[in-house]
Amino acid sequence: MNPTRVSPTRASLTRRRFIETAGLTVAGLAALSLSAKFGFVSEALAQAPSAEELAIAGPLGEMAEGKADAPVTIIEYASMTCGHCAQFAADTFPKLKSDYIDTGKVRFILREFPLDPLAAAGFMIARCAGDDKYFPVVDLLFKEQKQWAYSDKPVEGLQNLVKQVGFSQQSFEECLQNQKLLDGVNDVRQRAAEKFGVNSTPTFFINGQIQRGALTFENLKKILDPLVEKKG
């Protein structure tokens, strides 16, 4: 499955559509401008990142599921507006969770790599929901991605959707105006691009080895089983 690559044209269109439909304050819109610094390194350089470098959490802290001492660690860099990421979340992740994460074989870490301001907004909302609701909110946004991210009024759609998890109009707007929160999301994105060669979503690091694109469960199982057996 081909990953979703960074597209300046798509990001620009999404940003314009976001601004036209947000209905937030000027300060809120300014807060959702993604960092201008977005460099890339070669894919060759990204093949063997330092385990120590890869393990460093971003300023907002790590969002993870599974045992901390699991024999295998999967880090996924995803974007909330990425169709392939939504497909992985719907088709592969439930089986990964039941067979590997919940059984103590895999620790799964999700890191933010927004491809556009709307994706950044989705991650910010998930963070504002609280640590215990982060993954449920991410699951909800991926499940209903077509209903908000690709609608004529995406921000309105996002706001209506997250009312289900307790957001009011005030808490929604306050979250999206949180510059410190956006800076943290941007930091993770920028570091992944510059240090690890991430330039598309989803991108996975499985015990440090890079895998690009939405892996099927069958393909993932072929990678995971030898690693679990080796550590067993």
pLDDT in tens, 60-72: 999 999 999 999 9
Domain that holds residue 26: 4-231
pLDDT attached to residue 49: 79
Average pLDDT value over all residues in the chain? 84
Across 18-22, 103-107, 124-128, 138-142, least confident range? 18-22
For 145, residues 6+ apart whose C-beta sits below 8 A from its C-beta are 80, 81, 83, 86
Burial of 62 (0-12, 13-18, 19+ CB in 10 A): middle
- Token pair, residue 170, equals 């005030």
pLDDT of residue 1: 55
Dump pLDDT digits (tens) for 190-228: 999 999 999 999 999 999 999 999 899 999 999 999 999
Beta-bridge mates of residue 217: none
The predicted pLDDT at position 9 comes to 38
Domains contained in the chain, number? 1
Structure tokens of 217? 């469960």
- % of the chain at pLDDT higher than 70: 78
Q: What is the pLDDT of residues 75-132, one digit of tens each?
A: 999 999 999 999 999 999 999 999 999 999 999 999 999 999 999 999 999 999 999 9
Distance, CA of 13 to CA of 33 (rounded, Å) = 13
Where residue 225 sits, what CATH number does that domain have? 3.40.30.10
Token pair for 81: 């507006």
| pTM: predicted TM-score of the whole model, two decimal places | 0.84
In terms of pLDDT, which residue wins out, 27 or 196? 196
